[in-house]
Chains A and B, each alone.
Chain A
Amino acid sequence: MSDPLDDLIDAAARALDLPVEPEWKAAVKANLAVTLRLGRQVAEFSLPDEAEPAPMFVA
């Protein structure tokens, strides 16, 4: 069974036209795993639907 993170890296690399050499993949995967874990930590925090992102465009 394939690893979902490997699948994501392969698909994203193709979609974004990013070269990921086989010897780079382990490090990319390790970094992506850390970033997604930290991203989940942020996303778990409940915020109201009305919460504004920090950067605000001013017309």
Chain B
Amino acid sequence: MDLTWSSANAVACAVQDGQTSAHDVIAATLRRIAENNTALNAFTATVAQRALARAAAIDGARQRGERLGPLAGVPFAVKNLFDIAGLPTVAGSKINRDRAPAERDAPLIERLEAAGAVLVGALNMGEYAYDFTGENVHDGNARNPHDLARMTGGSSSGSGGAVAGGLVPLALGSDTNGSIRVPCSFCGIFGLKPTYGRLTRARSFPFVSSLDHLGPFARSVYDLALSYDAMQGYDADDPACVDRPPEPTAPLIGRGSDGLRIAVASGYFRKGAFSEALTAVERVAKALGATREVEIPEAARARAAAYVITATEGAALHLDRLRTRARDFDPAVRDRLIAGAMVPAALVNQAQKFRRWYRARVLELFKDVDAIIAPSTPCTAPLIGQQTFVLDGVEMAVRPNLGVYTQPISFIGLPVAAVPVPLEPLPIGVQIVAAPWREDVTLRIAHALERAGAAAAPKPKRET
């Protein structure tokens, strides 16, 4: 089978039916990574021996007539802030290369492997996840499969590049302020940022504990649902993980968007957007028949508060490293973290108080609507190294503006399906936002858009 663009579900079905072996899938995947990673720079490590051993175990189980999991033989990779047994958890940094190898995989890896998936490696990322670009001074910049001169987006840069480039059908990343949704937008793939507290973050390297989420990337909505369902479940090792029974979404996504009240975010989410972002939102709204608009109150202030909390919590996490190894940081990350350490605590406390106020106001909106549509990014993928862009005649800095539409949403932990709209020449993403714990709503709408052809992961034109 053609693994370059097969869905995770298609791979699993083929392995379950014996049309192909897990060994052949994994061997072909490892070959593709070896052939293409020089161009994409998505992987920072592969775990070939382990992956082949795991594949052999799956093939053996099939031969014995055992029932295989829903992700049998599906290759996947993880942002290199997830613990992988035997590797140091580098989190995109030089400093963490000195850490002892992890003794045990992160639980999300364990849960995917329990469902039959096979970990093949670790993925590039922005240093310590403080990044929206995909640029990394230590491991090199991740490159966008649709145009190698362009950014993947970050900080889950390799997760975006590996899935969009056809190296793996499934990847995991993290999202503190937009680090799943921004690379999904620039690379043209689907992603799920679940509700804060839904998926365990145990044994992953943190950034901003009160905002950190983990989630999957894929080229189809069903793959997102399959992997998300396999990863749900309480874990006492993550203090933020909520003890809530798993709520499977894969059986629900076929219900479509009928009966759901869907509105388009107005005001803040229209300002500062390039025409591509507005076109993408229009297409999605039209496909869903969504004519209603809703204003998310104080979104600009929410973004400001998320910025303050990020800078200060991030600084607190790295304070000792800033004292002892400041020269080993990416300068762009170091200078922001040092500044974050100097912000008065009163402002941080006010930001956390505002967060609760804002949460209550936004949850009010969900009494009248089931989902809100908003752009993921203001633009398509900028060139690597690009510092500014011009919008309506005004020159604006690229880096801080890539997350303007994602930050007000993750600030209060709402679930979001990021869907790619296949515009030419580059794709761009749209956020489908729902009330807490309603991942099923976001995925149902994403699936309806996929079926209607309004959302799709476009195959890169270059041969990878």
Contact = CB atoms under 8 A, between A and B. Distances in A.
A45 B338 contact: no
Contacts of B346: 43
B340 A35 contact: yes
Interface string B336-355: 10111111101111111111
B198 interface: no
A31 to B, nearest CB: 4
B333 to A, nearest CB: 10
A38 B307 contact: yes
Contacts of B322: 18-19
B455 interface: no
B400 A34 contact: yes
A42 B210 contact: no
B353 A47 contact: yes
B308 interface: yes
Interface residues of B, number: 39
A52 B356 CA distance: 7
Given A35-B307, A41-B301, A53 B355 contact: yes
A27 B400 CA distance: 14
B18 interface: no
A24 B349 CA distance: 28
A1 interface: no
Contacts of A43: 346-347, 350
A3 interface: no
Interface in A30-59: 31-32, 34-36, 38-43, 45, 47, 51-55
B298 interface: yes
Contacts of A39: 304, 308, 343-344, 347-348, 350-351
| Chain A contact residues: helix, strand, loop or mixed | helix
A29 B342 CA distance: 10
B331 interface: yes
A17 B265 CA distance: 45
Contact of B359 (A13, A16, A18, A54): A54
Contact of A41 (B304, B311, B319, B335): B304
A30 to B, nearest CB: 8
B298 A32 contact: no
Nearest to A27: B335
A57 B80 CA distance: 30
Tell me which of A28, A39, A42 has the highest count of chain B C-beta atoms within 10 A of its own C-beta. A42
Given A24-B331, A32-B342, A42 B336 contact: no
B319 A24 contact: no
Contacts of B339: 28-29, 31-32, 35
Nearest to B347: A39
A35 B308 contact: yes
B323 A51 contact: no
B335 A42 contact: no
Given A18-B338, A31-B340, A34-B307, 18 more contacts: A16-B341, A16-B342, A18-B322, A18-B326, A19-B322, A19-B326, A20-B338, A27-B331, A27-B332, A27-B335, A28-B335, A35-B339, A36-B347, A41-B301, A41-B304, A43-B346, A45-B298, A54-B356
Interface of A: 8-9, 12-13, 16-21, 24, 27-29, 31-32, 34-36, 38-43, 45, 47, 51-55
8 contacts: A13-B338, A39-B348, A42-B347, A42-B350, A43-B350, A45-B350, A45-B357, A51-B357
